[in-house]
Structure 1
Amino acid sequence: MRQRIALFSLLVPDYDAGIAFYCGKLGFDLVEDVALDADKRWVVVRPKGAGESGLLLAVADGERQQQAIGNQMGGRVGFFLHTDDFDRDHASFAAAGVRFLETPRDEPYGKVAVFEDAFGNRWDLLEPRA
C-alpha cells in the first residue's frame, strides 16, 4: 500500500492574495485555479520541484475561520519548506519582502530560518544536511 499527503488546506483572506504571496514572492507554481461557483475556487500552489504535495488555498468562510487565518498552528512553525540552496532562497525571499523572524542558523539537521507568510503563518526555510 502507498499513501501520501497530497494537499494541505491553508486559510487565506482572499485567493488572489494567496497566489500573490506564494507564487509571486516564494516562486511557487500555480497548479490549479478552477472556479467552483460564483464565490469559491479550487486553488492549488506547490513549491517548484515539489512533485506531489501542495497547498490548497481556502478562503475563510465565517468568523471562526477568519480568526484562524495566520494562526492555524497556534503560533508554532507549521510548515517546512526544504530547499537545495538555502542562501539563494533566503536572499530571494528577503529581496521580495518576506519577513524573517530570525537570522539564519546552523542546526544539526541543517541550515534554517523562520519566516512568516503574508498572513502570519510561520514557516521554516530549511536546507537539510546530507
Structure 2
Amino acid sequence: MRQSIFAVALVVADYDTAIAFYVDTIGFTLDQDKDLGGGKRWVRVTPPGAAQGSLILAQADGDAQRAAIGNQTGGRVGFFLTTDDFARDHAAMLAKGVVFEEEPRHEPYGTVAVWRDPFGNRWDLLQFT
C-alpha cells in the first residue's frame, strides 16, 4: 500500500488575498482555481518545485470558520516549508515583507526560522542538514 497526504486545507478570509500572498509573495504555483458555484472555489497552490503536498485555500464560511483563521493549530507552528537553500529563501521572503518571528537558528535537524502568513498562521522555513 502507498499513501500520501495530497493537500491540507488552510482557512483564509478571502481567496484572492490568499492567492496574492502565496503565489505573488511566497512564489507558490497556482495549480487550480475552479469556481464551484455559490461563492465557493477550489483553490490549490503548491510550493515551487514540489512533487507533492499542496494547500487548499478555503475561504471561511460562517462564524466558526472565520474564528479559526490564523489559529487552526492552536497557536503552534502548524506548517513547514522546506527549502534547499535557506539563506536564499529567507532573504527573498524578507525582501517581500514576510514577517519572521525570530532570527534563523541552527538545530540538530537543520536551519529554521518561524514566520507568519498575513492570516496569522505560523510556519517554519526549514532546511534540513
Same fold (TM over 0.5): yes
TM range (shorter): over 0.9
Question: Which structure 2 segments of 5+ residues have no match?
Answer: none
Give 1:52 shift.
1.9
**Does residue 29 of structure 1 match 2:21?**
no
Structure 2 Cα separation of the partners of residues 100 and 25 of structure 1: 14
Aligned to 1:7: 7
Aligned to 2:43: 43
Aligned residue type for 1:11: V
Give 1:45 shift.
0.4
Identity of aligned residues (%): 60
Aligned to 1:106: 106
Question: Which structure 1 segments of 5+ residues have no match?
Answer: none
Query: Number of residue pairs matched?
Result: 129
Structure 2 Cα separation of the partners of residues 111 and 7 of structure 1: 25
SS in 1 for 2:20: helix
Q: TM-score, normalised by structure 1?
A: 0.98
**Does residue 76 of structure 1 match 2:79?**
no
Structure 2 Cα separation of the partners of residues 25 and 100 of structure 1: 14
Give 1:38 shift.
3.9
SS in 2 for 1:36: strand
Q: TM-score, normalised by structure 2?
A: 0.98
Structure 2 Cα separation of the partners of residues 33 and 76 of structure 1: 29
- Superposition misfits of 4+ residues, deviation over 6 angstroms: none
Aligned to 1:63: 63
Q: Deviations over 1:64-123 (max 9, x none)?
A: 100100000010000010000000000000000000000001110000000000100000
